[in-house]
């Protein structure tokens, strides 16, 4: 089940359209390699958790090695891993040097197992992280009500002060076409 909250965000490519409502998935937890290996082993494939973990660890090492060798790696129906380069432009081909290359990016093109996730997904609307935190704080303090407007105001002011405010954990989910501003992150529907 994919839990999501709804936020108002402005598409930075079309600011004249104003803010529109978009969904952002809420990450339940982050699975480390140990937990994921144990889960894979629990499917009774005949491999222990330790063996699964070792294979996945070795796969990661080998994947990095092959990408740095300039290869693409196709992992069956999982998908294809490759690299691309981010560069600073030079005035001419002759003036371009290795120093113009600023980063190596990992690309992932999903395989057939990932093509129709929308058809397999189930969704559940949940309160924004700000609303969840404010409700928990009120419950602990023995209060019967929550001032969501005040909670959002506090989160926005702490975000402005540079501590990130109410950043979601994990992937930020969907964004407006071309990306969106994060200013609407705290304007979720409760």
* Confidence band of 170 (pLDDT split at 50, 70, 90): very low
**What is the pLDDT at residue 160?**
60
* pLDDT tens digits for range 48-61: 999 999 999 999 99
In the chain, how many domains are there? 1
Report yes or no on 102 lying in a domain: yes
Q: Does residue 100 lie within any of the structural domains?
A: yes
Q: What is the pLDDT of residue 168?
A: 43
Residue 159: the pLDDT is: 64
Residue 16 falls within a domain, yes or no? Answer: no
The answer to whether the pTM exceeds 0.95 is no
Decide if pLDDT at 124 tops 50. yes
**How does the average pLDDT of the chain come out, rounded?**
82
Q: How far apart, in whole angstroms, are the C-alpha atoms of residue 5 and residue 187?
A: 10
SS3 per-residue string spanning the chain: CEEEEEEEEECCCCHHHCEEEEEEECCCCCCCHHHHHHHHHCCCCCCCHHHHHHHHHHHHHHHHHHHHCCCCEECCCCEEEEEEEEECCCCCCCCCCHHHEEEEEEEEEECHHHCCHHHHCCEEECCCHHHHHHHHHHHHCCCCCCCHHHHHHHHHHHHHHHHCCCCCCCCCCCCCCCCCCHHHHHCCCC
The pLDDT tens digits for 61-118 are: 999 999 999 999 999 888 999 999 999 999 999 999 999 999 999 999 999 888 878 8
Residue 188 lies in a domain: no
Does residue 159 form part of some domain? no
pLDDT at position 24: 85
In a domain, 60, yes or no: no
| Containing structural domain, residue 82 | 72-124
85 part of a folded domain: yes
Asked if residue 95 belongs to a domain, the reply is yes
């Amino acid at each position: 089940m994919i839990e999501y909250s709804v936020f108002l965000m402005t598409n930075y490519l079309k600011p004249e359209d104003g803010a529109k409502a978009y969904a952002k998935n809420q990450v339940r937890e982050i699975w480390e390699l140990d937990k994921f290996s144990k889960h894979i082993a629990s499917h009774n494939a005949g491999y222990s958790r330790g063996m699964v973990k070792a294979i996945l660890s070795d796969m990661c090492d080998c994947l990095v090695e092959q990408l740095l060798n300039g290869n693409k790696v196709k992992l069956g129906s999982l998908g294809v891993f490759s690299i691309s380069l981010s560069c600073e432009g030079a005035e001419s081909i002759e003036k371009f040097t290795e120093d113009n290359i600023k980063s190596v990016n990992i690309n992932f093109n999903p395989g057939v197992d990932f093509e129709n996730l929308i058809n397999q997904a189930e969704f559940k609307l949940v309160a924004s992280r700000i609303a969840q935190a404010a409700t928990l704080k009120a419950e602990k303090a023995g209060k019967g009500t929550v001032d969501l407007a005040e909670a959002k105001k506090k989160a926005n002011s702490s975000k402005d002060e540079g501590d990130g405010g109410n950043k979601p954990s994990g992937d930020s989910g969907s964004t407006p076409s071309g990306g969106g501003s994060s200013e609407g992150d705290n304007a979720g529907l409760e």
